[in-house]
Structure 1
């Protein structure tokens, strides 16, 4: 039996013990018996999906039943919101003013809170005129994976990257976190682009016009209905109003949580399939080795970030980041197998947007090795670095303060 970072021990040879529920790492609802059941379900289905895809190419779309189920629930929720709005307005105007104004107003407020949220672009985009080499590379990678190019590229200071559509007009936005982007070698950056742009064409059931607002709205509503709302009031009237609100909010929160967990349960395996497909696209455009290196850096996000912060405090430029990340990966070589195994326990959840990084690496490792369809030469990489020089300087200053 082995252990790492004080975790419950498991068998390194067979993985027995990795399925143990950790109430601190795997909490979803807050009721231990329910969280334990949700974790067991997620753990089982995560491994079933991995075993299924390990023996065949990743399909472009998930099962039709899953898509129909998620779409049906999403449409039903949208219609419920519309019914609350129409019904509330109708009650408000009945014999105005009358008793019906109160329930009508409540229904209207519920409809407003449950309104579809289509997202918005976070941060200021880098324009094509500011970064022509970066946009040219993104265009090349998008063409290689068969995806439409993004309408905008945003660069921020998170150790992350993402791609999605925002607004009613469904504008495609690619977001690159400079600490992650800068920590990768040139071909690793191509792999990162291949994965993120793959989200535009990987058939993820959660990203359609009808379903995406539901997956973003329900968590926001649950936060709004959290128990902390209405606390701290003074006076009997205020206390009574707060108590009534907490009772109503608790009932509504459970309704929303059931709908949310149902949607997560339906879409989890398809969401994992979509992520595995995006990884396959990353390996196709950048080469298998580059895609695996990206996953290693993501697996070691905290140690890599520690190295970047130390470099920033030493006033070193971002040009040293790839070497620092490579050193962090090399230093963790002895413990990497255990880190990967432990992530299978820690990163499994119905609410997780990705399958565990360890399973993503393992699945790529089962495929025949691929060469790079989109090589990134040192000259072009240097041009992109120069285009982002000011952003890098700001990011270095930010990391130095962390």
Structure 2
């Protein structure tokens, strides 16, 4: 019997021999006990549920296949190539424009029928105009995107925005106009409105678990999407996906509760198949390119923040489920404490400090288990991302890069101070459930 220590303060736990090969098992305590020699119990839970809907299932299959193909193609590359548009990108743009063209054709036909027709034709024209309005290209609303979340602008956080501008400039793109803060184990940069103003969303569930240098790598990845020209981030294609999603929602089959429902489902079936077909084609034309952009953004993260920091961020994303469960436990526990304790106002550790400690205590053996489990499942964040274990292998398999930008402790403290009000607000909200 081998004595080891778990992550809960160094308490010894027993590591029994593997029942398959007899080697010493790894892990224990609050983590899964598994065998690194033969992979016994590396994936004790049920595989991830199959995504609902035919479109999403096809997306997942394409994501896994493209991710593996691109890994083989790019593993020897230096990470400096652009995602570009290429033939697939041009075809995707043409198809997206055709989707929008159909919407404008509906609008034109509807207006003509309203103006020139009478009776039924005028009513039909009004319906077509209404459909065109519902399916119009949407540019996204920055105001709605930041609703109910703490928001920072340049005047509120000059040190944070100076850092964001520096990272974006190093990557070769523009910075952001607004920063929103959430509790998520995630971060993202999105464009909104006709002017395409950029919004950075900082999920404290991830941000607070990262070192200053890992935060640089995370930001380098997010800005890297714009530097490499990820077409799915573009206005034309992104809005076409939204339009197709609206069509799919409107044409979804009704529950079969009467003959009328069956007849309606039968009548809409050809249109539903057509929408699914166009969506599949647009996915096929853009998913490979989007996955390439993810690999290139990972390369940018390693270039700006350094290989070690970029690989560490990938590990954090790999154990996102662990961190999300830690946040859920904090929310439950917070409801039993007074709100001051949840926000750290009584001198005790804050929610974010406890989550960060939990993340720091995750042993390397658990990261390795999650990588092997991900390799078995083909795990990825979503259909637009390559499998996470391949992204990690791509980063670590290339020559080690030293960071172009270094975030020292003094500057990191200034940035943290500007996030402190949002941190406290979200801690109180989390404690209230």
List gaps (5 residues or longer) in structure 2.
1-19, 22-36, 335-341, 343-348
1:196-240 per-residue CA deviation (whole Å, 9 max, x = no partner) reads: 1112211112222322211233223322333358x88xxxxxx77
Q: Report the Cα offset of residue 247 of structure 1.
A: 4.2
Q: Report the Cα offset of residue 360 of structure 1.
A: 0.9
List gaps (5 residues or longer) in structure 1.
3-11, 233-238
Name the CA distance, whole Å, in 2 between partners of 1:266 and 1:162: 23
Name the CA distance, whole Å, in 1 between partners of 2:267 and 2:180: 40
**Aligned to 1:321, what secondary structure does the other structure show?**
helix
1:117 aligned to which of 134, 138, 146: 138
Name the CA distance, whole Å, in 2 between partners of 1:138 and 1:39: 32
Q: Report the Cα offset of residue 278 of structure 1.
A: 1.0
| Counterpart for residue 105 of structure 1 | 126
8 Å contact from structure 1 (residues 164, 200) kept in 2? no
Alignment of 1:291 onto 2:314: no
**Aligned to 1:183, what secondary structure does the other structure show?**
coil
Q: Report the Cα offset of residue 265 of structure 1.
A: 0.6
2:418 aligned to which of 381, 384, 387: 387
TM-score by length of 2: 0.77
Superposed counterparts of 1:76-87, under 5 Å: 76-87=98-109
**Greater gyration radius:** 2
Q: Report the Cα offset of residue 252 of structure 1.
A: 2.8
8 Å contact from structure 1 (residues 126, 152) kept in 2? yes
Superposed counterparts of 1:63-78, under 5 Å: 64-78=86-100
1:347 aligned to which of 375, 380, 403: 380
Query: Residues 134 and 249 from structure 1, CA distance in 2 versus in 1: closer, same or farther, beyond 3 angstroms?
Result: farther
Alignment of 1:274 onto 2:293: yes
1:174-200 per-residue CA deviation (whole Å, 9 max, x = no partner) reads: 111121111211111111111111122
Query: Residues 216 and 201 from structure 1, CA distance in 2 versus in 1: closer, same or farther, beyond 3 angstroms?
Result: farther
8 Å contact from structure 2 (residues 374, 388) kept in 1? yes
**Of 301-310 and 264-273, the range deviating more from structure 2:** 301-310
8 Å contact from structure 2 (residues 184, 204) kept in 1? yes
**Aligned to 1:328, what secondary structure does the other structure show?**
coil
8 Å contact from structure 2 (residues 220, 300) kept in 1? yes
CA RMSD of aligned residues (A): 3.1
Give runs of ≥4 in structure 1 deviating > 6 Å.
Answer: none
Name the CA distance, whole Å, in 2 between partners of 1:304 and 1:46: 25
Superposed counterparts of 1:119-138, under 5 Å: 119-121=140-142, 122-123=145-146, 125-138=151-164
Superposed counterparts of 1:368-383, under 5 Å: 368-383=399-414
Name the CA distance, whole Å, in 1 between partners of 2:173 and 2:326: 34
Superposed counterparts of 1:325-340, under 5 Å: 325-330=359-364, 332-333=366-367, 335-340=369-374
Name the CA distance, whole Å, in 1 between partners of 2:262 and 2:101: 30
Name the CA distance, whole Å, in 2 between partners of 1:38 and 1:204: 17
TM-score by length of 1: 0.83
User: What is the aligned length?
Assistant: 373
Query: Residues 41 and 274 from structure 1, CA distance in 2 versus in 1: closer, same or farther, beyond 3 angstroms?
Result: closer
Query: Residues 367 and 331 from structure 1, CA distance in 2 versus in 1: closer, same or farther, beyond 3 angstroms?
Result: closer
Q: Report the Cα offset of residue 242 of structure 1.
A: 5.7
